[in-house]
Structure 1
Amino acid sequence: MVFFKNQFANVVEWEEFRDDMIFWKWNNREIKKGSKLIIRSGQDAIFVNNGKIEGVFEDEGDYSIDSEIIPFLSTLKGFKFGFNSGMRVEVLFVNTKEFTVKWGTQNPVLIPTPLLPGGMPIRANGTFNFKVNDYVTLIDKIAGMKDSYLVEDVKIRITSILDQLLMKWISREGKDMFNLQANAFDIAKGIREDLDMQVLGNGMTITGFNVMSFNYPQEIQNMITKTASHEMIGNLSKYQQVSMTDGIASGNVKGGGAASDMAGMMMGMNMANEMMKNMNQNQKPAAEGQATPAASAASSSPEGGKKPNFCPNCGAKNEGANFCPQCGQKLNV
């Protein structure tokens, strides 16, 4: 039964397709006359004979191997199928899509810094993208020894060197240890270039690398948050004032305790100071720009002073005299 089965046509296709599979090899089987090649979307089919690429077929569809494939093979184009003979070649199916992989540091990366003798322990996470770009190198370095290759295999290799690359690019050019997210683009760009050099030797290329977040120890994160809040307020004194005012407005500071009394006193003093400033600003132009009525009257008097209507000594009524008629008090002022 097996004898007769081998005499008839077979189908060459990716039989074990998975989304996370980079390539799969159809091998150790003889292709018979009338056999058919099936290429699906997102796949390339590579015919390999004795470790050498015979032809690469990229367009999806169904193809007759003896009439549509063999004529394009480099050294096998003259192959003729006999009644009991077939062609023994390997067909490597390659997933042509761009793969996206999530990564994350398994352990904190200790970044050297003068602020912490043991280094700053930092975790990070993000994504990277890659795809196959060189079939000759892929076959020479990997496919020649493996029947399939998974995304997880690439991820293991990438993450094994990622800690060292993070340390390299965070430390380079004196990056701010407490604001790494602001430099995430430059750090990711440098890491992508280094990773690309690593995987190019296997026939692949890194098309993208992103750092989504840097994570500090909780104590460091609390310090960064507090420092940032103080910087936003401007200084500690103003921060205390705003905090107290917010507490009163929200009702968190209430009752007759010391905190409430202090808050009320501070608000009262601040309001009084503001009122005094406003009054001084309003009165200053009037004092500088115009004289008082008393000064105007004194300057207009021919004797050089204004005479009171009543004597300041005895209270007698004055009719405009320079001296009081009752006690003789001088009335010029």
Structure 2
Amino acid sequence: MGLWDKIAGEFIDVIEWVDDSEDTLVYRFPTHNREIQMDSDLIVRESQQAIFVYQGQVADVFGPGHYKLKTENLPVLTTLQNWTRGFNAPFKSEVYYFNTRQFTDLRWGTPNPVTLRDPEFGVIRLRAFGVYAIRILDPRQVMSEISATSAHFRVNQIEDQLRKTIITRLSDFFGEADHPFLDYAANLNEFSNALHQALQPDFARYGLGLESFFIENVSLPEAVEQAIDQRSSMAAVGNLDAYTKFQVANSIPDAARNEGGLAAAGAGAGMGLAMGQAMGGALGIGGQQSTSAQATPAQQQIMVRCLKCNQLSPETAKFCASCGNPLRSD
């Protein structure tokens, strides 16, 4: 390398940043121990802003475009360094690029359940998660509040703070809204919009814009969700008494198909009859027994057998009705 090339290498004549990452918010152009020449090219691409910083002070800000650096377009830096108009000597300054594109699909969620008082379920522990998107609105504010003089500031370096801000506002919002949990689950879009508005001032303090905010899901602990499912099932059944009678009626054909029929479900014919009467009562048939049922307990006559013709006759008969043989000795 010749002397001229070495000297030329100590000066910067093109300033630009090609972003090859997906999460860089702020990038400092490498100018360590190097000076920027007047009439150098400054290239600021779409979705970028460039800021010149002199001795820790924010100087001139450039939006997208191609610039030739002169005292005319560096008014703040010219004042800070006491340059005269038409100053052409090389100068030292830090140059920071700010990525102003939208950063999407950033995730948030409650690391621990949020305890709330619900009008319907009492005290509940609610979980929620979703996504949001941000972009840089004020590079000066970003530098003063979060990135400072970092050479390479990424989104993940501020994500934790943003998530904590979201959870704080979410807990406060749900606590003050005093809506039942079922309203949250059914109106996620409305609550997302309301929280979006509530969070924007918090993000603006960092120089960031909250471009979008969505609640994807709100949920309760598994045990509480099971209780809600049971409650829904009871509501679907409706009249529990009518449902019970219906279930008993459906069970009768199944019992009849079993070996031994209905009587096999009990201990003999008497038990079978008792079960049938119980079913009849459950079905609302009880109160009026049939004529055959009323005749069941009627008295039964004792019969005696004739020793001559082997025929049966009532106990009160003196002679066999078939052959006339005496049945009693009295």
Letter in 2 for 1:163: I
**Number of the residue aligned with 1:162:** 166
Q: Is the 8 A contact 1:20 1:151 kept in 2?
A: yes
Residue in structure 2 matched with residue 13 of structure 1 by the alignment: 16
Runs of 4 or more, structure 1, over 6 Å off, are 114-117, 238-245, 258-262
Kept after mapping to 2: 8 A contact 1:178/1:224: no
Task: Show the 5 A alignment for 1:151-300.
Answer: 151-231=155-235, 234-236=238-240, 256-257=254-255
Contact 2:109–2:128 (CA under 8 A) maintained in structure 1: yes
- Between 1:122-131 and 1:225-234, the stretch displaced more is 225-234
Q: Which residue of 1 aligns with 2:82?
A: none
The one-letter amino acid paired with 2:76 is T
The amino acid that maps onto 1:192 is H
Q: Shift in Å at residue 154 of structure 1?
A: 2.6
Q: State whether structure 2 residue 42 is matched by structure 1 residue 42.
A: no
Is this contact kept in 2: 1:131–1:206, CA < 8 A?
yes
Alpha carbons 2:119, 2:180 under 8 Å: kept: no
**1:124-135 residue pairs with structure 2 within 5 A?**
124-135=128-139
Q: Deviations over 1:167-226 (max 9, x none)?
A: 222222321024421243454344334432222222112232211101211221122233
CA–CA distance in 2 between the matches of 1:91 and 1:125? 38
Output the TM-score relative to the length of structure 1.
0.61
* TM-score normalised by structure 2 residue count: 0.62
1:46–1:56: 8 Å Cα contact kept in structure 2? yes
Aligned to 1:148: 152
Cα displacement (A) at 1:116: 7.2
Match of 2:141 in 1: 137
Q: Secondary structure at the match of 1:75?
A: helix
Q: How many residues align?
A: 252
Q: Among residues 78, 84, 87, which one is paired with 1:80 in the alignment?
A: 87
Segments of 5+ residues of structure 2 without an aligned counterpart are: 79-84, 263-275, 284-330
Q: Match of 2:306?
A: none
Query: Could you give the per-residue CA deviations for residues 273-302 of structure 1, whole angstroms, max 9, x where no partner exists?
Result: xxxxxxxxxxxxxxxxxxxxxxxxxxxxxx
1:111 aligned partner? 116
CA deviation after TM superposition for structure 1 residue 125, in Å: 0.7
Counterparts of 1:190 and 1:9, CA distance in 2: 49
Q: Do 2:13 and 2:36's aligned partners in 1 also have CA atoms closer than 8 Å?
A: yes
In structure 1, the gaps of 5 or more residues are 270-333
Q: For residues 46 and 158 of structure 1, what CA distance do their matches in structure 2 show?
A: 24
CA RMSD of aligned residues (A): 3.8
Q: Alpha-carbon deviations, 1:37-74, whole Å to 9, x = none?
A: 232332122233344444333224x44335xxx53222
Instruction: Output the amino acid matched with 2:48.
Output: Q
Conservation of the 8 A alpha-carbon contact between 2:60 and 2:76: no
Hey, what's the Cα distance between the residues in 2 that align with 1:259 and 1:112?
53
Cα contact 1:9–1:33 (8 A) shared by 2: no
User: CA 1:114/1:32 → structure 2, altered by over 3 Å: closer, same or farther?
Assistant: same
Partner in structure 1 of residue 287 of structure 2: none
Q: Could you say which residue in structure 1 is the equivalent of 2:72?
A: 71
Q: Once the two structures are superposed, what CA deviation does each residue of 1:61-92 show, in whole Å capped at 9, x if it has no partner?
A: x44335xxx5322234635333xxx1212222
Cα gap change, 1:196/1:244 in structure 2, threshold over 3 Å: closer, same or farther? farther
Partner of 2:311: none
The alignment partner of 1:81 has SS state of coil
Partner residue of 2:35 out of 23, 30, 33: 30
DSSP-derived class of the 2:231 partner:
helix
How far apart, CA to CA, are the structure 1 residues paired with 2:257 and 2:92?
Answer: 91
